[in-house]
Structure 1
């Protein structure tokens, strides 16, 4: 115990010096992390003010945060006496090894940059990407956040998005509804076509140009199939889709036109 007290007395100045340095480093770290958040928020607000896509703003702000935060850590380490030049060299060598181990993360980062540059979608658009469907909320450095129609949040890695097909349902202002309506072989085809056309004519949300299409598409095993293809504004797609299905079924029932069940004819032959 006496030896410890002696050592503390002999090195009190050194302890005080490094203690002050450690406190300053801690203050730099805490202040720098706040500055990083502030800069990221300021960047995102600047993009919002310029009416740039929110996804782009969130992506750039996350990069700004990472850069400022990394600089803060280097400043804090320098304050407590760690040589940052050699530290950066060590980080570079370690970064190469870590980069090889984290190829997936680097691939996600590169894919995020490509998403920002190529702009296959933007914030607020409804897409199918990486095998998932939803409305784009944010594009981060490594992943993209989607919101499903039933309000679930899906985080999709950027590399998964860029490695497959991307379907953007919101990019165009109009969409075509594709319905296949099967009727019985006993049904009057001319009458059936008139019934389907009357349902379409009564739907106010359908566009006049391009005009809708109603035609026989297939003589199937159990039914004669009609294709019904009207055009609507993209925002009206699902309400119109559901409404047409209901009204077509009601109209066919009122006209005594049957929608057949799948059926199979079995022929039995008696053998002596």
Structure 2
């Protein structure tokens, strides 16, 4: 970042949670350079933050997974135990549970965003534990390949569509669509209108895309999943709507109450599993 700023960059995007403090520190030294940090929460006069409500897409995936699992065991490959990933696990779980009360989640942490070997190993472990659906919050297609080799295991694309693995094992996907945001923020710097902002958009704004639901998904499940997607997009439904309890049984959201973005026990700082998920959030 320092090298970029010294070489005359007017705008620097730092695109991972772990860059948060370095971004703030470097930005303080270069007040005339604009910084955009992805998935973080620390702002400054020349530092904006932006993220996507991937948990909305996880709700759709959980809905499909709960309907389609035959073993009632759903595997989940986590990258890092940060709020973004924990939100996704919780959202997928509660929406799978809504349509299949017998569903169980097994979670393996890969501690990487992209490492095909680690991701493949994680998928194989989950399949060996009985998972016939594998969700991932990592970005390679290795879990898709592992599922394809195992046979009769369903997966979902992450970040990109991964449609080459359709109609099975990949039955849908979450697609990151950052381009409109990047273009708008770059144009704002060029126009001299850039200000520090916090942006958190989802399906409705087009920042989170839901990949085509494949023919491997029964027509009625596809229709209900698309209805869920549309209700999340138009705001008529919130993925975290009570009653919901924390993992220890303590109340989190009352009936009809929806989660707040910021504040105590908010989505932005989510560091806990919801009731029914087994295991501990890694520290």
The two structures have a TM-score, normalised by structure 2, of 0.21
Structure with more helix by fraction: 1
